[in-house]
Chain A
Amino acid sequence: MTHDFTKAHHLPKRRGGQDQADPYDLPRQRRGKTPQMHGRYPDYDVLEQAGAWDEPTRAVVLARVDDVPEREFFTAAEAATLGAFCDDLLAQHSEPRIPVLAFVDAKHAAGKTEGYRYADMPPDAETWRLVARGLDEAAGGEAGAYADIDSDGRERILDAFSSGDLEGGVWAELDVSRAWSVVTRDALTAFYAHPWAWNEIGFGGPAYPRGYARLGIGMSEAWEGEEAIHPDPVPDVKRKGLE
Chain B
Amino acid sequence: MKDLLKGSVLPRDNDSARLLHPTRRDIPGRDRMRRFAHDDEVDMLVIGCGAGGGVLAQRLARAGWRVCVLERGPFWDPEADWVSDEAGSAHIYWNDVRIVGGKDPVQMGKNNSGHGVGGSMVHYAGYTPRFHPSDFETQTRDGVGTDWPITYRDLREHYARVERELPVAGQDWPWGDPHSYPHSPHPVCGAAERAWHGAIQHGIEMRVGPVGIANGVFGNRPHCIYRGFCLQGCKVNAKASPLVTHVPDALEHGAEIRADCMVVRIEADASGKATGVTYIHDGKECFQRAAAIAVCGYSIESPRLLLHSSGPGFPNGIGNAGDQVGRYLMVQGAPQVAGRFPELLRMYKAPPPEVSSEQFYETDPSRDFARGFSIQTISPLPIGWAEHVLADGHRGAALREYMRDYNHWAVLGALSELLPQPENRVTLAGETDQFGMPLVRFDYTQCENDRRNIAFAKQTLHDIWESAGAQDVLTIDRYAHLVGGCRMGTSPDNSVVGADHRVWGTDNVFVADGSVMPTQGSANPALTIMVLASRLAELLGRKQLGATHKGAYARAVR
Task: Give the distance to chain B from A121, nearest Cβ to Cβ, in Å.
Answer: 9
Question: Roughly how many angstroms separate A47 CA and B551 CA in the complex, as a whole number?
Answer: 60
The verdict on A127 contacting chain B, using a C-beta distance below 8 Å, is no
The verdict on A90 contacting chain B, using a C-beta distance below 8 Å, is yes
The verdict on A203 contacting chain B, using a C-beta distance below 8 Å, is yes
Question: Roughly how many angstroms separate A5 CA and B343 CA in the complex, as a whole number?
Answer: 8
Question: Roughly how many angstroms separate A88 CA and B235 CA in the complex, as a whole number?
Answer: 37
Interface locus among A128-136, A139-147, A211-219, A233-241: A211-219
The verdict on B99 contacting chain A, using a C-beta distance below 8 Å, is yes
A107 to chain B: closest residue by CB = B90
Are A227 and B100 interface neighbours, CB within 8 A?
Answer: no
Contacts of B107 in A (CB 8 A): 116
A167-207 vs B: 1/0 string, CB under 8 Å?
00000000000000000110011111100011011111011
B358-398 vs A: 1/0 string, CB under 8 Å?
00000000000000000000000111011100100111111
List A88-118 residues whose CB lies under 8 Å from chain B.
88-91, 112-118
Contacts of A60 in B (CB 8 A): 83, 85, 88
Question: Roughly how many angstroms separate A224 CA and B407 CA in the complex, as a whole number?
Answer: 12
Task: Give the distance to chain B from A182, nearest Cβ to Cβ, in Å.
Answer: 11
Are B83 and A91 interface neighbours, CB within 8 A?
Answer: no
The verdict on B342 contacting chain A, using a C-beta distance below 8 Å, is yes
Task: Give the distance to chain B from A105, nearest Cβ to Cβ, in Å.
Answer: 15
Contacts of B108 in A (CB 8 A): 114-116
The verdict on B322 contacting chain A, using a C-beta distance below 8 Å, is no
Question: Roughly how many angstroms separate A115 CA and B393 CA in the complex, as a whole number?
Answer: 25
The verdict on B187 contacting chain A, using a C-beta distance below 8 Å, is yes
Are B85 and A206 interface neighbours, CB within 8 A?
Answer: yes
The verdict on A68 contacting chain B, using a C-beta distance below 8 Å, is no
Contacts of B95 in A (CB 8 A): 112-115
The verdict on B193 contacting chain A, using a C-beta distance below 8 Å, is yes
A92 to chain B: closest residue by CB = B400
Cβ-neighbour of B400 out of A23, A202, A207, A211 (below 8 A): A23
The verdict on B344 contacting chain A, using a C-beta distance below 8 Å, is yes
Task: Take A7-B471, A11-B405 as given contacts and tell me if A212 and B98 are in contact as well, using a CB distance cutoff of 8 Å.
Answer: no
Contacts of A162 in B (CB 8 A): 393, 395
Are A207 and B387 interface neighbours, CB within 8 A?
Answer: no
Contacts of B97 in A (CB 8 A): 113-117, 123
Contacts of A185 in B (CB 8 A): 387
List B104-136 residues whose CB lies under 8 Å from chain A.
105, 107-110, 112-113
Contacts of A189 in B (CB 8 A): 87, 383, 386
Contacts of B94 in A (CB 8 A): 115
Are B87 and A193 interface neighbours, CB within 8 A?
Answer: yes
Interface locus among B12-20, B225-233, B244-252, B498-506: B225-233
Task: Take A56-B82, A57-B83, A217-B193 as given contacts and tell me if A224 and B346 are in contact as well, using a CB distance cutoff of 8 Å.
Answer: yes
Interface residues of A (CB under 8 A from B): 5-8, 10-14, 18-23, 39-40, 53-54, 56-57, 60-61, 88-91, 112-120, 123, 158, 162, 184-185, 188-193, 197-198, 200-204, 206-213, 215-220, 224, 227
Interface residues of B (CB under 8 A from A): 79-88, 90, 93-101, 105, 107-110, 112-113, 187-190, 193-194, 225-229, 235-236, 340, 342-346, 348-350, 381-383, 385-387, 390, 393-408, 441, 443, 471-472
- Known contacts A57-B84, A191-B386, A203-B381; 12 additional CB pairs below 8 A are A14-B471, A114-B97, A115-B98, A117-B97, A118-B101, A193-B383, A201-B404, A201-B405, A206-B85, A208-B84, A209-B225, A210-B227
22 pairs across A/B with beta carbons < 8 Å?
A5-B342, A8-B472, A10-B405, A11-B471, A18-B397, A19-B398, A21-B398, A21-B401, A22-B397, A23-B404, A54-B79, A61-B88, A89-B399, A91-B397, A113-B95, A114-B97, A115-B109, A115-B113, A116-B112, A184-B395, A188-B383, A200-B400
